[in-house]
């Protein structure tokens, strides 16, 4: 963090603030103060707040892309486990994006297309993941069931952290962490998993519950 450019520090700090408090609640003055530069200097690097948001969004896309690639290449339950973890960690790192999506898209309409494209890409990758598992005999599901499973997975990756904020932190398992999110998603798959793969899946799920 010491040798990084001011520009990068602005992005880092903005990301942290946006994730914690939401885009709407964080002013450019606030960002400048946190980076320990003047508002004028902030403006030198990014003319508008929107530009900061858009840069962070692009970084988010770049961070998610390999997750989708990994998802589309899955062949066994183990890969699913790995993929889910990658994906949830990426989304958690940029949770400001889905934190208040409606607000984000309303305020920055330019992102609407990109956001929908991301969900669509996610949907395609998840569909592919399910189809491959079905082809490998790990999953037993009709075309329609695969379609719905993919939808369930994308819905979960997109919205889980928003939801987790509303659930009471009960005991050991924290639903707001990537671990529980992955556990939840594996559970969606479980009714359709057959044979010994199912035992292994349940073993993995058990590990999350501790």
How far from each other are the two terminal CA atoms of the chain, in whole angstroms? Answer: 35
d(CA 193, CA 55) in angstroms, rounded, equals 40
Work out how close the CB of 95 gets to its own copies at its nearest, in angstroms, rounded to a whole number. Answer: 9
Spatial distance between the Cα atoms of 89 and 180, rounded to a whole number of angstroms: 12
By C-beta, is 53 or 67 nearer to DNA?
53
Contact region for its own copies (CB under 8 A) — 34-42, 69-77, 126-134, 161-169? 161-169
The one among 4, 8, 48, 143 contacting DNA by CB under 7 A: 48
Give me the least distance between CB of 57 and DNA, in Å please.
16
Q: Which of residues 9-68 bind its own copies (CB under 8 A)?
A: 21-22, 24-25
Shortest Å, Cβ 178 to DNA: 29
Of 65-104, which residues contact its own copies (CB under 8 A)? 99-103
Asked whether the beta carbons of 103 and 24 are under 8 A apart, the reply is: yes
**By CB under 8 A, is residue 159 in contact with its own copies?**
yes
What is the Cα Rg of the chain in Å?
A: 19
Which residue from 65, 76, 93, 105 is in contact with its own copies, where contact means CB under 8 A?
A: 105
What is the contact mask toward its own copies in residues 109 to 148, using x (rule: CB under 8 A)?
Answer: ------xx--xx--x------------------------x
Of the candidate residues 4, 20, 21, 50, the single one contacting DNA (CB under 7 A):
50
DSSP 8-state code for residue 165: T
Looking at the DSSP bridge assignments, the partners of residue 1 are none
Q: What's the CA gap between 11 and 53, in Å, rounded? A: 9
Q: Which of 79, 70, 93, 87 is nearest to 182 (CA)?
A: 87
Largest CA distance in the chain: 63
The least distance separating its own copies from the CB of residue 118, rounded to whole angstroms, comes to 8
Residue 182 zone, left/alpha/beta (φ > 0; ψ -120 to 50; rest): alpha
Rounded Cα distance between 191 and 196, Å, is 13
Instruction: State the residues that interact with DNA by CB under 7 A.
Output: 5-7, 26-30, 36-41, 43-45, 47-50
Instruction: State the residues that interact with its own copies by CB under 8 A.
Output: 21-22, 24-25, 99-103, 105-107, 115-116, 119-120, 123, 148, 151-152, 155-156, 158-160, 162-163, 165-168, 184, 187-188, 191-192
């Amino acid at each position: 963090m010491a040798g990084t450019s001011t520009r990068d520090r602005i992005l880092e700090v903005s990301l942290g603030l946006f994730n914690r408090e939401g885009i709407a609640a964080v002013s450019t003055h606030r960002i400048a103060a946190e980076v320990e530069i003047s508002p004028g200097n902030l403006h030198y690097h990014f003319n508008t707040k929107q530009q900061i948001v858009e840069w962070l969004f692009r970084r988010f896309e770049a961070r998610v892309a390999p997750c989708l690639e990994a998802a589309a290449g899955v062949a066994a339950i183990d890969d699913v486990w790995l993929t889910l973890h990658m994906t949830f960690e990426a989304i958690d790192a940029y949770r400001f994006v889905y934190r208040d999506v409606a607000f984000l898209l309303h305020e920055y309409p330019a992102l609407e297309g990109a956001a929908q494209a991301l969900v669509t890409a996610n949907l395609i990758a998840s569909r592919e993941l399910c189809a491959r598992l079905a082809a490998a005999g790990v999953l037993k599901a009709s075309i329609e069931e695969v379609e719905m499973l993919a939808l369930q997975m994308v819905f979960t990756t997109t919205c889980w952290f928003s939801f987790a904020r509303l659930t009471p932190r009960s005991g050991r398992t924290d639903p707001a962490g990537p671990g529980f999110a992955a556990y939840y998603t594996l559970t969606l798959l479980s009714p359709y998993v057959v044979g010994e793969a199912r035992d292994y899946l349940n073993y993995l799920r058990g590990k999350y519950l501790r």
